[in-house]
Amino acid sequence: MRGTDSLLLAIDTSTRSVGLAIFDGAQVLAESIWESGDYHTVELAPAVVNMLARAQLKASNIGAVAVAIGPGSFTGLRIGLALAKGLAFALRIPLVGVPSLDIMAAAITPGDIPLAAVLRAGRGRLAIAWYENENHAWKQTSKIEVWTSQDICDRVTSPTIVCGELTTAERRMIAEMNPFIQMVSPAQSLRRPAYLAEIGWQRWQANQVDDPAYLSPIYLHYNDPIPEL
């Protein structure tokens, strides 16, 4: 591993929301989030180049890459992972894969109430996983499943914090129909690449890195639970 003064580039293309960040272990030097729609292929690489230029950096300054591995969009994950692997191979730097729901959970301060993190799974469905506070950090305690917002209303029967990608209508419905749920704000529900960068940095420094040849995304399965991570 390179020295701790190297930089980490974070890449998240899990859904239509795309995020990039540059982190030096102490400061987020740059961060960008935008709705890409179906244009990941044409937008991602130029966005990385532009972010490095604005930060007055070069690709050679990157010491590691962290990439969101899903669950999420098949195409989006494939494009993000391909770029991350390409950089890792070309620059001969470490690669760290981070589950996308872990990124969302990282934005919420751990407490006594369990957390459910969700993101859009297409066709009106949501990928959802539960987390509990363990030593002041969220730990995933369930398999990732595919639910609907109605499932959240019907099946959550104890106090639960919910964060993630929900529409205005979904937020209103859940708040009106389920008194057990505490909705976090839209800002806290944003999947920020800065949190991906922090998680990736910690794992990089602990030498918990992935082999680019074998790192694969977590794809969504509409009928069956996704295997545990």
DSSP, residue by residue, 99-147: -HHHHHHTTS---SS-EEEEEEEETTEEEEEEEEESSSSEEE-S-BEEE
Decide if 73 is inside a domain: yes
Specify whether 92 is located in the same domain as 107. no
Contact 194, 28 (CB under 8 A): yes
CATH (domain of 129): 3.30.420
Decide if 221 is inside a domain: no
Task: Provide the pLDDT confidence category of residue 221 given band limits of 50, 70 and 90.
Answer: low
Specify whether 29 is located in the same domain as 59. yes
CATH (domain of 78): 3.30.420.40
What is the span of the domain harbouring residue 89?
Answer: 7-99+192-205
- Could you give the CA distance from residue 145 to residue 130 in angstroms, rounded to a whole number? 10
Decide if 142 is inside a domain: yes
Decide if 171 is inside a domain: yes
Specify whether 126 is located in the same domain as 167. yes
Two tokens, residue 38 = 């179906």
Contact 119, 126 (CB under 8 A): yes
Decide if 26 is inside a domain: yes
Specify whether 175 is located in the same domain as 196. no
Decide if 223 is inside a domain: no
Specify whether 85 is located in the same domain as 12. yes
Specify whether 129 is located in the same domain as 175. yes
Total number of domains constituting the chain? 2
Query: What does the pLDDT look like over 49-102, one tens digit per residue?
Result: 999 999 999 999 999 999 999 998 888 999 999 999 999 999 999 999 999 999
Specify whether 12 is located in the same domain as 82. yes
Specify whether 127 is located in the same domain as 14. no
Query: What does the pLDDT look like over 139-188, one tens digit per residue?
Result: 999 999 999 999 999 999 999 999 998 999 999 999 999 999 999 999 99
Specify whether 18 is located in the same domain as 91. yes
Specify whether 44 is located in the same domain as 66. yes
Decide if 211 is inside a domain: no
pTM of the model: 0.92
**pLDDT higher than 70, residue 2:** no
> Among candidates 217, 178, 172, 225, which has minimal Cα distance to 13?
217
Helix (H, G, I), strand (E, B) or coil at 20: strand
Average pLDDT along the chain: 92
Widest CA span in the chain: 52
Task: Provide the pLDDT confidence category of residue 219 given band limits of 50, 70 and 90.
Answer: confident
- Could you give the CA distance from residue 55 to residue 9 in angstroms, rounded to a whole number? 12
Sign of torsion, CA 204 209 212 216?
negative
Burial of 101 (0-12, 13-18, 19+ CB in 10 A): buried
Query: What does the pLDDT look like over 162-171, one tens digit per residue?
Result: 999 899 999 9
Query: What does the pLDDT look like over 15-45, one tens digit per residue?
Result: 989 999 999 999 999 999 999 877 788 999 9
Specify whether 64 is located in the same domain as 46. yes
Specify whether 94 is located in the same domain as 107. no
Decide if 217 is inside a domain: no
Contact 84, 90 (CB under 8 A): no
